[in-house]
Structure 1
Amino acid sequence: MSSDFIRCASHPDGYAELVIDRPAARNALCRSLTDAMAAHLDRLAADAAVRVVLLRAEGEHFAAGADLKEMLGISAEQARATDFAGCCAPLGTFPKPVVALAQGFALGGGCELVEMCDIVLAAENAVFGHPEVRVGTMPGAGGTQRLPRLLGMAKALDLLLTGRRMDAREAERSGLVSRIVPPDHLLEEGRRLAADMASLSGEVLVLIKQAARASASLPMDEGLRRERAAFHHTLSLPDHEEGMRAFLEKRPPRFNPPLHCKGTLER
């Protein structure tokens, strides 16, 4: 599956950039875009040379939501038959860390993409919200499920039931955003962060993400048991020995197998 509205670039230092590229439509999420994004994610999950994904968008806005013109032509029967979500639902189960860079509007399905990511850097001009209720529908890719877990029920319902928007500062205070960055530095800071994370043990990054994400649905005792088992597993990894030896020898660790990626660009 390919689309002119999304592209993927693999970097030689271990991360990939997944770029939404439909700025003329405020990066509205049409089906060809979300299907192509899902296909890229499937490939990136299997690519051992990619340890982190940086999700960003061209233009002034991250993503203003689903493509409403396209949605008008989709019946309930068609939506059920194709499991239409108005977004890229597979991002929510992607195993590797995902860093999102959000600027301008991140609304509706765009906000759902943000909610699925692990670290969110927001430009000072970023705006988040779920306006679906104001066009007679509701989130379909996790907004009613992830937002309460991230923000708490009161704040989440304040957004979901009214369609109001919140700025980057409120989003950071509420727990949706990890850090706020000046707009001119957003891409530079995001790439620096992705490269730094990709220099760490890829397997350990996945284990940490799995353990932390599982905490949302597990009792504390079960979550602690799974964390302990994952911790014990790390003691069998070559990266564990390399990391400890590097620390004791006062040198940078050399995690992960050598990479031979030259940097590729795909649509």
Structure 2
Amino acid sequence: MNTSRLASRPLSRSYRAFAQPILPRFVRCQSTQSSYENILVEDSQKPGVALIRLNRPKALNALSSALFVELNDALKNCEEDPEVGAIVLTGSDKAFAAGADIKEMASLSFADAYTNNFIASWSYMSSIRTPVIAAVSGHALGGGCELAMMCDILYATKTANFGQPEIKLGTIPGAGGSQRLTKAIGKSKAMELILTGNNYSGEQAERDGLVAKAVEGGNKEVVDLALTTAAKIASYSRVAVTAAKEVVNKSQDLGIREGVEYERRIFHSLFGSQDQKIGMKAFTEKQKPKWSHS
């Protein structure tokens, strides 16, 4: 991305779109590096892949409203960049995110939290259409665990530390933890973890089905795995990838019969895309498809 064209663009709470740039080999999808204080948008060195890193090292990447303003802005920019086919979200060796910033919320009243719909903006990532892969090492607790579960694919180190310890603070998960964890690992296991506040490792999370794959090593190794998968996803038709993400997500809301019918309708709709023609023609001619993303 030609970032010089964005140098004068201030960070915006409204996440306004920016002009389409000339397409490069690699992408950064940021407004300006200096505008972000709580995240980094790094060069992934993978075609079509954006890499976003949570960056509050002194607070172990504790999640705050200010962080989510920046994260949502970067995600919005990535989604609107036609060169971006997948996003990787990570933290550091010590922490993906060690929880929410308790100092920010400790003094809130019910009226404050309820009327301002506190933390509703934290779920923005779950609504974007570009696939997001979490690469977790270190702590992913409370809101950090919830943020990881909002991603479409979750990779972790075997020693990563997951948990929903909100019960120890006299509260409960508020950013989807009780819902996503239950759907991922079942009611009994989720109930045990949420009611006890116990932590569990990346290795256990893989066994239970929360994590797609747990790897040896630290942040570098899990990010490398996520980038490899993201690059593969980004190499496919954007139209088909968007549709595939949509139907899988819909399976969480619909019964099997309704879900299959919904899937079939989306399948039928892809016959109106250029990429379906390109992909099937390339297959029959034993050629590599050159996607139009239309």
**Structure 2-normalised TM-score?**
0.82
Shift of 1:58: 3.0
Distance 1:129 1:252 in 2: 44
Per-residue CA distance 1:199-242 (angstroms, 9 max, x = gap): 01111111111111111111222111110111111122111122
Note the 1:92-111 alignment, pairs <5 A.
92-111=126-145
- Per the alignment, residue 118 of structure 1 pairs with 152
- 2:270 aligns with 234
1:208-219 to 2 correspondence within 5 Å?
Answer: 208-219=244-255
Deviates more, 1:25-34 or 1:249-258: 249-258
Residue of structure 1 in register with 2:187 after alignment: 153
Aligned partner of 1:6 in structure 2 is: 39
After TM superposition, give the deviation of residue 86 of structure 1 in Å: 8.1
Q: 2:114 and 2:106 mapped to 1: Cα distance?
A: 15
Instruction: Give the Cα separation in 2 of the matches to 1:241 and 1:90.
Output: 33
C-alpha distance in 2 between matches for 1:9 and 1:51:
15
Shift of 1:138: 1.0
1:203 alignment counterpart: 239
Output the amino acid matched with 2:164. Answer: H
Aligned to 1:265: none
Give the match for residue 253 of structure 1.
289
* Cα distance in 2 for residues equivalent to 1:83 and 1:252: 48
> Is structure 2 residue 195 aligned with structure 1 residue 170?
no
Does the Cα contact within 8 Å between 2:86 and 2:130 map onto a contact in 1?
yes
- Cα distance in structure 2, aligned partners of 1:56 and 1:151: 22
Q: Distance in 1 between matches of 2:136 and 2:121?
A: 16
* Unaligned residue ranges in structure 2 (runs of 5+): 1-10, 12-34
Does structure 2 retain, via aligned residues, the 8 Å contact 1:172–1:180? yes
Q: Higher relative contact order by CA 8 Å / sep ≥ 6: 1 or 2?
A: 1
How many pairs are equivalent? 258
Aligned to 2:134, the other structure's residue is in SS state strand
Report the secondary structure of 1:62's partner residue: strand
Find out whether 1:25 has 2:59 as its counterpart.
yes
SS in 2 for 1:243: helix
Measured on the aligned residues, the alpha-carbon RMSD in Å equals: 2.0
Q: Secondary structure at the match of 1:19?
A: strand
AA aligned to 1:28 is A
Corresponding residue of 1:49: 83
Asked if structure 2 preserves the Cα contact closer than 8 Å seen for 1:66 and 1:87, the reply is no
Aligned residue identity for 1:97: P
The residue type equivalent to 1:248 in the other structure is: T
Distance, in Å, in 2 between the alignment partners of 1:169 and 1:176 is: 10
- Partner amino acid for 1:237? S
1:9, distance to aligned residue in structure 2 (A)? 4.0
Q: For residues 271 and 184 of structure 2, what CA distance do their matches in structure 1 show?
A: 31
- Match of 2:140, SS state, is strand
Pair 1:192–1:34, CA change in 2 (3 A): same
Assess if the C-alpha contact under 8 Å between 1:129 and 1:159 holds in 2: yes
Flag the 1:109–1:115 CA change in 2: closer, same or farther, 3 A: same
Letter in 2 for 1:50: V
Task: Note the alpha carbon deviations across 1:160-199, whole angstroms, 9 max, x for none.
Answer: 1110011112101111100112224222222111111100
Between the aligned partners of 2:266 and 2:56, the Cα distance in structure 1 is 40
Q: 1:66/1:133 Cα in 2 relative to 1: closer, same or farther (>3 Å)?
A: same
Map 1:63-142 → 2, pairs under 5 A: 63-85=97-119, 88-142=122-176
In the alignment, residue 4 of structure 1 is paired with which amino acid? Answer: E
Amino acid at match of 1:6: I
What's 1:263 paired with? none
**TM score, norm. by length of structure 1:** 0.90
Percent pairwise identity: 37
Structure 1: stretches of 5+ with no match in the other structure: 259-267
